[in-house]
Amino acid sequence: MAGEESRLRITKSDGVTRVEFLDRNILDEANIQKIGEEISNIVDEDDRPRLLISFANVDHLSSAALGTLITINNKVKNRGGQLRLSNIDPQIHEVFVITRLVNLFEIHEDAEQALASFS
Amino acid sequence: MAEPTHSPQHFRAELPRDTGEIQRFTGEVIEAAERMGYAKAARFAVRLAFEEAVSNAFKHGHAGLDRSLTLLVEAEVAPDRIRLVVEDRGPGFDPGAIADPTLDENLDKPSGRGLMLIRAYMTRVEFNEAGNRIEMLYRPTGEQA
């Protein structure tokens, strides 16, 4: 349930659900768990979900946030869907490089590129 | 705009499992680093390492223990170094026993990245013998501070 306290902006067009974060820091575990549940519910809504998560405006994230993204990615794959990430700040992108998660996720420079990549 | 200061600044607190308190302490350390002239990349590294250490201490160090237990945290911000200490009240752990999260077979596992990120961003990381106290040292390179 998105509800009043949602820290996400969710829009849907052309069969792709686009998720953006309202917070600059994605660090707090309780908040991360809530975000994870909310996105997970979105994934459950479609048989072959096509999901774009944009990190525009996000300055910091924690390993717990990475864990939540991995869980979402696993869930999307299990449902035969596609997940794309975009608009990642260079310093946060370095975190994806250090953890080798650039090999797990399909990351695009901006939302337009990411949207064009869905098959 | 505050004038840059070069006198080492010390911070010490008993940190409860409270997001506001954690962010307040972290913010004070990061602001001190900014006043000391540390660049954005350095502040990003210090914040990330400290937050991961605190998160690990509560989540793993205090697993199964009283949620009211606090952490002892310390920080020293000086022009040539930032030293961070996080000590929990748990029995400790063996940092050598953590699986490498960057191996292909572990890439899709959602946990186990905190310590490797701390090691990647800090100049030196040490544990006490019990494994319930982590000391992290950040030394700036020419471009970072």
How confident is the model over A19-41, as pLDDT tens digits?
Answer: 999 888 777 777 888 999 999 99
Whole-number Å distance between alpha carbons of B16 and B54: 10
In terms of CA atoms, which chain A residue is nearest residue B26? A27
Determine the pLDDT at residue A5.
Answer: 74
Contact A99 B117 (CB under 8 A): yes
B29 with B22: CB under 8 angstroms? no
What is A8-117's CATH number, 3.30.750.24, 3.30.70.1530, 2.60.40.420, 3.30.70.1230? 3.30.750.24
Of A21-35, A43-57, B62-76, B130-144, least confident by mean pLDDT is A21-35
* Residue A1: predicted pLDDT: 45
| Residue B52 touches chain A, beta carbons under 8 Å | yes
Q: Which residues of B touch A74 (CB under 8 A)?
A: 108, 110
State the pLDDT confidence band at B2, using cuts at 50, 70 and 90: low
User: Can you tell me whether residue B41 is helix, strand or coil?
Assistant: helix
Q: Answer whether residue B50 is part of any domain.
A: yes
**Position B82 pLDDT exceeds 60:** yes
Per this entry, what is the length of chain A? 119
* Distance separating alpha carbons of residues B50 and A67, to the nearest angstrom: 18
Q: What integer is the mean pLDDT of B43-68?
A: 96
Contact B67, B88 (CB under 8 A): no
Residue of A59, A62, A73, A92 for testing the chain B interface, max B β-carbons within 10 Å: A62
Residue B28, in any domain of the structure? yes
Residue A88 has a pLDDT of: 96
Domain containing B44 equals 9-138
CATH number at residue B107: 3.30.565.10
Q: Is residue B4 part of a domain?
A: no
- Per the model's pLDDT, the better-predicted residue between B143 and B113 turns out to be B113
Which two tokens mark B10? 């010390």
pLDDT digits 0-9 by tens, B57-70? 999 999 999 999 99
The answer as to whether B1 is a domain residue is: no
Does B145 fall in a domain? no
| Total domains, chain B | 1
What mean pLDDT is reported for chain A?
91
- Domain membership flag for residue B144: no
Between CA B59 and CA A35 the distance in angstroms is: 19
Please, what is the end-to-end C-alpha distance for chain A in angstroms?
28
Q: Following DSSP, what letter does each residue of A57-104 receive, concatenated?
A: T--EE-HHHHHHHHHHHHHHHHTT-EEEEE---HHHHHHHHHTTGGGT
Q: Please work out, in degrees rounded to the nearest 5, the angle formed at the alpha carbon of residue A84 by the alpha carbons of A78 and A89.
A: 135
How crowded is residue A97: how many other Cβ atoms within 10 Å of its Cβ? 12
Q: Looking at residue A3, what is its pLDDT?
A: 47
Region label for A117, one of left (φ > 0), alpha (ψ between -120 and 50) or beta (otherwise): alpha
How far apart are the C-alpha atoms of B67 and B44, rounded to whole Å?
28
Residue A82 clears pLDDT 80, i.e. is over it: yes
